[in-house]
Amino acid sequence: MRRLSARRGLLYAGLAVCAMLFFINFLSFQQRDQPPWAVSLTGASAVAPRSRSLSGSRNGTGPPVPRPVASAGSAAAAPRAAPLREPGSNVVSADDGTLLVPEDRHWFFSGGRRKPGPGSLPRELALWPEEDGGDRIVNQLLYRPPPADSSSWPPRKLKKILLYDGFGARLKTGQEEFVRNGCPVNTCELTTSRSQIDTADAVLFKDRFHGPHGQRRPGQAWIMYLLECPMHTVSFKHVQPLFNWTATYRHDSDIVAPYEKWVYYDDSVHFRKQEINYAAKKTKKVAWFVSNCGAINKRLQYAKELAKYIEVDIYGSCGTKKCPRSMGKKCFEKLSNEYKFYLAFENSNCRDYITEKFFVNGLQHNVLPIVMGAHPDDYKRAAPEHSYIHVDDFKSPQELADFLHALDRDDHLYNSYFQWKGTGEFINTYFFCRLCAMLHDEGHQKTIPDLNEWWRGAGTCVTGKWPRYTPERT
């Protein structure tokens, strides 16, 4: 009996040791390779199932929602207007291959190979402002008209586009622009010869209109192209209702021509776990590169008020810091490496007016942009989700500073604003490819009754905060 009891004791001891080793190994595995910003506020790993569809339901776990603590030296619980952007998309792991297969991407992505096939009637893609159905820039890039008949594509006749004014000599005439760019619809040609206006299918004007003042040929499309905001463009008050289409940065233009265009590889995946800490080794708070000190939206006054509550370094003629344009690359390296925040302030507060100040200076560097300019809804539509902070989400510069201090103290929350990286890219919108495709959507005719009212009517621009906007709150 004693020998049997001893064997049983050794067996129990061995089982206990094995169980302990398994438990220790399990805890080590759970904590391995998990940086603080890759874990949700509840402690769950921010990784969700893979998805390969280009459009689908948005669900799963997103980045942590900012819940800032009280500012230093303040007894307040938290800034009352802290931006709350409830994430609703999947977060994929950094090594997830779903988003990185070029052959699965459309032709306008880097390395993309998927070209659209011939269309059918009735047309399925929404191309025009009055139509509902997804991203019209993407739709226009994917549109091909039905074949001219059941056996031939492409149709033989080229659509002629007359560049009437303002385009200079940068573009090649003929069909080269469309063939060189691999346009899905390339049956168009460019000309700068005004003598061909009677045979042109479209006449494109840029920034201004100095004639012709005669009648437009029936079936011909006159298009006004504008890149600057209404505050800095000429008036069209005395222009007759001759124009059919608009081509501007505004999302309600017929052909939207934004400064930059962000597109997700997979619209159901807006966040991706990052492998680096974007807050690491950054010792400075806010930077701004600016040369125009008299902007009508009083952005400089706002920045100086903000500087009373948080460190703001202003580079250029409006501040005390210097970093000349000739050293642009080094200036932006300094921005990415030393600063946590960047003031991406436009010179005017106009609908959809979002320029390279945000898209390039901010988003394309490892810094968190603070934006002023377009309406908050416009930024939501144009920017990667949870990638910026809008000043209108706060009652005052001081309240904004409180929130920035909270992010500065919490790498987890700060890094949540960078989880969009790697989920898509800024694409070339191929303006002339889309214009050519649109000209092949036969039968779409309209006339803009008052171009000036459409461009600069009431509510298009404001000089201060956007009215009737309710800030997002925690």
Where is average pLDDT lowest: 58-62, 163-167, 176-180, 338-342? 58-62
User: Which distant-in-sequence residues (6+ apart) come within 8 Å of 310 by Cβ?
Assistant: 285, 286, 401, 404, 405
| pLDDT attached to residue 41 | 28
**Which has the closest alpha carbon to 404: 164, 83, 74?**
83
Where is average pLDDT lowest: 47-51, 265-269, 460-464? 47-51
| pLDDT attached to residue 23 | 52
Answer for the pair 379, 390: CB distance below 8 angstroms, yes or no.
yes
Average per-residue pLDDT in the chain?
82
| pLDDT attached to residue 125 | 94
Answer for the pair 383, 407: CB distance below 8 angstroms, yes or no.
no
d(C-alpha 422, C-alpha 97), whole Å:
11
Where is average pLDDT lowest: 153-162, 222-231, 285-294, 330-339? 153-162
Q: Which two tokens stand for residue 327?
A: 């050293």
d(C-alpha 240, C-alpha 237), whole Å:
8
More confidently predicted of 155 and 457: 457
d(C-alpha 138, C-alpha 277), whole Å:
33
| pLDDT attached to residue 442 | 83
* Confidence class for position 17, pLDDT limits 50, 70, 90: low
pLDDT of 32 above 80: no
The mean per-residue pLDDT over the stretch 320-337 comes to: 92
| DSSP secondary structure of 191-223 | E--GGGGGG-SEEEEES------SPPPTTPEEE
Q: Compute the C-alpha angle 50/55/56, nearest 5°.
A: 65
Answer for the pair 361, 354: CB distance below 8 angstroms, yes or no.
no
Q: Domain spans of the chain?
A: 118-258+429-473, 265-424
User: Which distant-in-sequence residues (6+ apart) come within 8 Å of 291 by Cβ?
Assistant: 316, 317, 318
| DSSP secondary structure of 292-341 | ----TT-HHHHHHHHTTTS-EEEESTTSSB---GGGHHHHHHHHHHHEEE
The mean per-residue pLDDT over the stretch 87-110 comes to: 69
| pLDDT attached to residue 121 | 81
**375-417: pLDDT as tens digits:** 999 999 999 999 999 999 999 999 999 999 999 999 999 999 9
pLDDT of 108 above 90: yes
| pLDDT attached to residue 255 | 97
* Confidence class for position 10, pLDDT limits 50, 70, 90: low
| pLDDT attached to residue 19 | 63
Where is average pLDDT lowest: 141-145, 147-151, 279-283? 147-151
β pairing state of 159-165 and 188-191: parallel
| pLDDT attached to residue 94 | 56
**Other residues' Cβ atoms within 10 Å of the Cβ of residue 262:** 18
pLDDT of 473 above 70: no
For 369, 390, 397, 404, 408, the CA distances from 340, given in Å and listed in that order, are: 9, 15, 17, 9, 8
Q: Which two tokens stand for residue 320?
A: 């005390």
The mean per-residue pLDDT over the stretch 8-23 comes to: 60
Q: Which residue type is seen at 446?
A: K
pLDDT of 38 above 80: no
Q: Which residue type is seen at 384?
A: P
Answer for the pair 430, 108: CB distance below 8 angstroms, yes or no.
yes
d(C-alpha 141, C-alpha 434), whole Å:
6
* Confidence class for position 157, pLDDT limits 50, 70, 90: confident
pLDDT of 334 above 90: yes
**Which has the closest alpha carbon to 216: 207, 203, 205?**
203
| pLDDT attached to residue 47 | 30
Superfamily holding 265-424: Glycosyl transferase family 10, C-terminal domain (3.40.50.11660)
| pLDDT attached to residue 238 | 87
d(C-alpha 367, C-alpha 381), whole Å:
20
The mean per-residue pLDDT over the stretch 324-339 comes to: 92
pLDDT of 1 above 90: no
d(C-alpha 210, C-alpha 227), whole Å:
18
pLDDT of 345 above 60: yes
Give the three-class secondary structure for 5: helix
**Which has the closest alpha carbon to 262: 97, 60, 436, 423?**
423
